[in-house]
């Protein structure tokens, strides 16, 4: 069985034969390098920033110093994967707006930023020397012993060599014994090395994990689960209503319309002719209305073809021309598709109603394990997340899936409406899903059909 | 006599359709309630045309459409008229992309109510014409607004009717104008859309659709 983390690997009998000793060494080596680089960067920022602060230009450098923990922590979370596959989540919030200023404002207010700065200081002043010592000792001792015969043959002129600068060896059997000891010592020392690496990893995890209170956490989890159940139930109900309308009322109306159509062929005299014509018109109107109603409840194309085609369908109906560009690997999990669909639907409805835009664009892609869909328009801006109940509904719906809605709409425009829904890679597509026909990206008016004409 | 295989899972509607088609002299040789039955019925009866619903058992998704595409793959040129409860450009395009796009129809189910026009559409598809629901055309029109803004509302009506695969005289009848007027509108449409004038109605429809879809 393959071990999935260093801690498990250390207990397994095959530890020495696997990659884990190497991973431990790589983890400690990269830790030492990163720590040293951090030390240099922090000192430079502090010294130069402090010196220039008097003439104001140093202030941005000091701000960078304050935020220095953030990139380091991000790197450390990635580096941790060398010895521990469990992903350490990023504790930072999404910024409230676009642009660097909004990002800095949010970051400075977060306690995590300051904890990460503390971690950076620990790395710079405490951890990396220890890592360097641990790695240096193992490499120095084993390397020194293993190299003894070579050193004797070259530098020692075949006469003598001071092994590890301690023992004087003056014959080949002695230096080969030293080399053998080195070879035997290497696997022995691989254990403490692994332990040090595992300890360092555990410390990183502890220091960089988001803080929480277990009781509150379990309550929150239960609340989250019950919200998911509610949304699922709500979605199932929508589907049921859609199916009932479709298989019941709509079919009966078609049959009624057909009967009225046939009745009109019988050439009835007035006033029956006029009455039948009116009844037929009413049936037609009812059919149009029920068709639109069903589509609003849950569009069949979303189930059949997925997000891209469903969004293209909304774009087709929009009074404002909309370009659609999706770059998706295939079908996404059903709740993700549904939430994104209704979000885009609401966004485009707002574009049509309020923005005064001449064009809009929908772009969708997978980035960092999340579906990101952006709706932009060239309208007059001024959309307010708090004002529209529709937008609030979208935000609520997304939050159930740990998704986020961001609306940036300065007066004068442009408006950017961004939806981000976590969407783990490699998730099995929804049941009955048809794989999307490749990563086709294109404007909404699809490819030219060719020369059929 | 046109021999029809009809796939529709609602018994109410299927019986109604059989009655309707037979009243107009078409013969429904088999009725199917599922996509599999449809494929088997076509293999057995070799009909002149297949009329099928999109949403069919067992999955109640787009099985009917899939079956239609499969049938056309096996037997290119087999006329297929798909009845849909929704206006779906994607479905219409898939049909048009099957074999050479002739002998296909995509109509909203509610068009059945206009019985004569519906039966006419069935006949035309059986003869190899292409029929696309005016609603789909209208959606496409909306998106080709810039060049199409040059078309007058009357010309847009003519274009939508034309996409249904109608002849000039049928369009004239529907709009209560003379055939000459329709020809005049046609010429003007084709000029405005930079399409060459050909005489086959079907080719004309396809040219316009290709143009609308992004040429």
Report yes or no: B27 at the A interface, CB cutoff 8 Å. Answer: no
Distance CA A161, CA A151 (A): 7
Look at residue A105 in the predicted model and tell me its pLDDT.
87
Do the bridges between strand B27-32 and strand B3-7 make them parallel or antiparallel, or are there none, so unpaired?
parallel
Distance CA A406, CA A397 (A): 13
pLDDT tens profile B84-133: 988 888 888 888 887 777 889 999 999 999 999 999 999 999 998 888 88
Best A245, A316, A362, A451 residue to mutate vs chain B (most B CBs within 10 Å): A316
Look at residue B48 in the predicted model and tell me its pLDDT.
95
Q: Could you tell me where the DSSP H helices lie in chain B? A: 11-23, 35-45, 63-74, 89-97, 115-126, 134-143, 145-148, 153-163, 168-175, 179-192, 201-212
* DSSP single-letter state for residue A14: T
Distance CA A386, CA A77 (A): 35
> How many residues are recorded in chain A?
453
Rounded to two decimals, what is the model's pTM?
0.62
Q: Could you list the pLDDT tens digit for every one of the 453 residues in chain A?
A: 456 788 888 888 888 888 888 888 899 999 999 999 999 999 998 998 888 888 888 888 888 888 989 999 999 999 988 888 888 888 887 777 777 888 888 888 888 888 999 999 999 999 999 999 998 988 888 888 888 888 888 877 767 777 777 777 778 888 888 888 888 888 888 888 888 998 999 999 888 887 766 777 788 888 888 888 888 898 899 989 998 998 889 999 999 999 999 999 988 888 899 999 999 999 999 999 999 999 889 888 898 889 999 998 898 888 888 889 999 988 999 889 999 999 999 999 988 888 888 889 999 999 888 999 999 998 888 776 666 668 888 888 888 888 888 888 888 878 889 999 998 765 444 444 444 333 333 333 333 333 332
For CA atoms A193, A194, A197, A199, the dihedral sign is negative
Distance CA A362, CA A372 (A): 10
ipTM of the complex: 0.78
Residue with more model confidence, A3 or B73: B73
User: Residue A209: how many CB atoms within 10 A of its CB?
Assistant: 13
Structure tokens at A122: 């620990």
Inter-chain CB proximity A291 and B110 less than 8 Å: yes
Look at residue A94 in the predicted model and tell me its pLDDT.
76
pLDDT tens profile B136-168: 887 777 665 555 667 788 887 888 787 777 778
Inter-chain CB proximity B142 and A443 less than 8 Å: no
User: Which positions 145-184 of B are in contact with A (Cβ < 8 Å)?
Assistant: 145
Report yes or no: B197 at the A interface, CB cutoff 8 Å. Answer: no
Residues B7-13: what's their mean pLDDT?
A: 92
Structure tokens at B61: 């998704």
In angstroms, the separation between the Cα of residue B46 and the nearest Cα of chain A is 27
Best A239, A243, A261 residue to mutate vs chain B (most B CBs within 10 Å): A261
Residues whose CB is less than 8 angstroms from the CB of residue A243 and which lie 6 or more positions away in sequence, other chains included = B60
pLDDT tens profile B167-177: 788 889 888 89
Look at residue A430 in the predicted model and tell me its pLDDT.
43
Report yes or no: B46 at the A interface, CB cutoff 8 Å. Answer: no
């Amino acid at each position: 069985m393959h071990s999935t983390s260093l801690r498990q690997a250390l207990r397994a009998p095959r530890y020495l034969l696997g990659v884990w000793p190497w991973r431990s060494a790589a983890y400690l080596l990269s830790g030492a390098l990163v720590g040293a680089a951090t030390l240099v960067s922090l000192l430079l920022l502090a010294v130069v920033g402090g010196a220039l602060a008097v003439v104001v230009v140093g202030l941005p450098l000091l701000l960078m110093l304050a935020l220095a923990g953030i990139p380091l922590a991000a790197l450390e979370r990635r580096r941790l994967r060398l010895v521990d596959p469990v992903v350490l989540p990023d504790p930072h919030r999404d910024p409230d707006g676009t642009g660097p200023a909004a990002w800095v404002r949010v970051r400075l207010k977060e306690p995590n930023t300051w904890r990460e700065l503390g971690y950076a200081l620990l790395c710079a002043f405490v951890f990396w020397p220890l890592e360097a010592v641990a790695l240096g000792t193992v490499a120095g001792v084993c390397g020194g012993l293993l190299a003894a015969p070579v050193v004797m043959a070259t530098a020692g002129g075949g006469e003598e060599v001071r092994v590890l600068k301690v023992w004087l060896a003056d014959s080949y059997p002695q230096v080969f014994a030293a080399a053998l000891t080195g070879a035997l010592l290497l696997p022995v020392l691989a254990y403490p090395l692994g332990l040090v690496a595992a300890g360092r990893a555990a410390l990183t995890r502890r220091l960089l994990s988001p803080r929480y209170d277990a009781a509150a956490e379990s309550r929150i989890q239960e609340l989250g689960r019950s919200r998911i159940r509610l949304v699922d139930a709500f979605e199932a109900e929508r589907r049921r209503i859609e199916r009932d309308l479709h298989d019941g009322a709509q079919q009966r109306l078609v049959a009624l319309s057909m009967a009225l159509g046939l009745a009109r062929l019988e050439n009835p005299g007035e006033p029956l002719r006029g009455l039948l014509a009116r009844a037929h018109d009413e049936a037609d109107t009812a059919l149009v209305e029920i068709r639109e109603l069903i589509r609003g409840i849950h569009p069949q194309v979303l189930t059949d073809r997925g997000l891209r085609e469903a969004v293209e369908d909304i774009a087709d109906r929009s009074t404002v021309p909309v370009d659609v560009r999706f770059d998706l690997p295939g079908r996404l999990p059903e709740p993700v598709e549904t939430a994104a669909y209704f979000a885009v639907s609401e966004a485009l409805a707002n574009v049509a109603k309020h923005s005064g835009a001449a064009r809009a664009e929908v772009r969708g892609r997978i980035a960092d394990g999340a579906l990101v869909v952006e709706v932009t328009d060239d309208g007059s801006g001024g959309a307010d997340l708090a004002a529209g109940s529709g937008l609030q509904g979208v935000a609520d719906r997304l939050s159930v899936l740990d998704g986020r809605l961001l609306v940036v709409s300065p007066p004068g425009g442009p408006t950017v409406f961004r939806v981000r829904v976590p969407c783990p890679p490699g998730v099995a597509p929804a049941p009955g899903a048809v794989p999307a026909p490749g990563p086709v990206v294109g404007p909404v008016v699809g490819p030219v059909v060719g020369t059929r004409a | 006599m046109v021999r029809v295989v009809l796939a529709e899972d609602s018994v109410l509607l299927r019986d109604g359709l059989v009655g309707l088609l037979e009243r107009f002299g078409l013969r429904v040789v088999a009725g199917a309630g599922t996509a599999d039955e449809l494929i088997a019925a076509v293999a057995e009866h070799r009909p002149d045309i297949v009329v099928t619903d999109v949403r069919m058992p067992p999955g109640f998704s787009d099985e009917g459409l899939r079956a239609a595409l499969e049938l056309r793959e096996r037997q290119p040129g087999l006329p297929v008229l798909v009845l849909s409860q929704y206006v779906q450009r994607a479905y219409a395009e898939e049909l048009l992309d099957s074999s050479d796009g002739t002998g296909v129809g995509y109509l909203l189910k509610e068009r059945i109510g206009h019985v004569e026009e519906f039966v006419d559409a069935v006949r035309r598809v059986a003869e190899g014409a292409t029929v696309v629901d005016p609603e789909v055309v209208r959606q496409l029109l909306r998106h080709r607004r810039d060049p199409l803004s040059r078309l007058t509302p009357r010309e847009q009506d003519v274009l939508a009717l034309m996409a249904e695969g109608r002849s000039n005289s049928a369009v004239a009848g529907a709009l209560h104008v003379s055939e000459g007027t329709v020809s005049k509108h046609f010429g003007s449409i084709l000029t405005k859309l930079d399409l060459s004038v050909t005489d086959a109605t079907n080719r004309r429809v396809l040219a316009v659709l290709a143009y609308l879809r992004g040429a």
